[in-house]
Structure 1
Amino acid sequence: MKKDDCFYLGKIVKKYSFKGELLAKLDTDEPDLYDNLDAIFIDLRGNLVPFFIERAQLHKSELLRLKFEDVETEADADALLKCDLYLPLELLPKLEGNKFYFHEIIGYKILDKNFGEVGVIKAINDSTAQSLFEIDRNGIEILIPMNDEFIVKVNRHNKTILVNTPDGLIDLYLEG
Structure 2
Amino acid sequence: MDFYEVGQIINTHGIRGEVKVKTITDFAQERFQKGKIVYLLMPNEYLELKISDVRTIKQFYLLTFEGYNDINLVERYKGMKLGINEKQQQKLGENNFYYHQIIGLKVVDENQNELGQVIEILSPGANDVWVVRRIGKKDLLLPAIHDVVKKVDIENGKVLVELLDGLDD
Output the TM-score relative to the length of structure 1.
Answer: 0.68
Which residue is 1:40 aligned to?
38
Offset, 1:145: 2.7
Counterpart pick for 1:23 among 20, 39, 62: 20
**Aligned runs of 1:61-100 on 2, under 5 Å?**
62-100=59-97
| Amino acid paired to 1:165 | L
Q: 1:117 corresponds to which residue?
A: 112
Amino acid corresponding to residue 141 of structure 2 in structure 1: P
Q: What is the identity, as a one-letter code, of the residue corresponding to 2:44?
A: N
- Deviations 1:138-176, CA, capped at 9 Å, x for gaps: x77785432223112223455432211136977x7xxxx
Q: Could you say which residue in structure 1 is the equivalent of 2:152?
A: 154
Conserved 8 A contact 2:107-2:118: no
Give ranges in structure 2 of 5+ residues lacking alignment. Answer: none
Letter in 1 for 2:150: V
Partner secondary structure for residue 29 of structure 2: helix
* 1:164 counterpart residue number: 162
C-alpha separation in 1, matches of 2:166 and 2:46: 49
Equivalent AA in structure 2 for residue 80 of structure 1: Y
Question: Does the 8 Å CA contact 2:54/2:63 hold for their aligned counterparts?
Answer: yes
**Does the CA-based 8 Å contact 1:39-1:50 persist in structure 2?**
no
Amino acid aligned to 1:131: W
Structure 1: stretches of 5+ with no match in the other structure: none
- Relative to structure 1, the CA distance from residue 98 to residue 163 in structure 2 (aligned partners, 3 Å threshold; closer, same or farther) is farther
Gap change, CA 1:54 and 1:84, over 3 Å in 2? closer
Distance 1:92 1:121 in 2: 28
Aligned residues: 162
Q: Percent identity?
A: 21
Partner in structure 2 of residue 132 of structure 1? 131
Q: Cα RMSD (Å) of the superposition?
A: 3.4
Is the contact made by 2:51 and 2:66 (CA closer than 8 Å) also made in structure 1?
yes
TM-score normalised by length of structure 2: 0.71
Deviation string 1:18-50 (CA, Å, 9 cap, x unpaired) is 322222111124421212363222134x23332
Q: Match for 1:145 among 141, 146, 163?
A: 141
Distance 1:167 1:78 in 2: 49
Larger Rg: 1
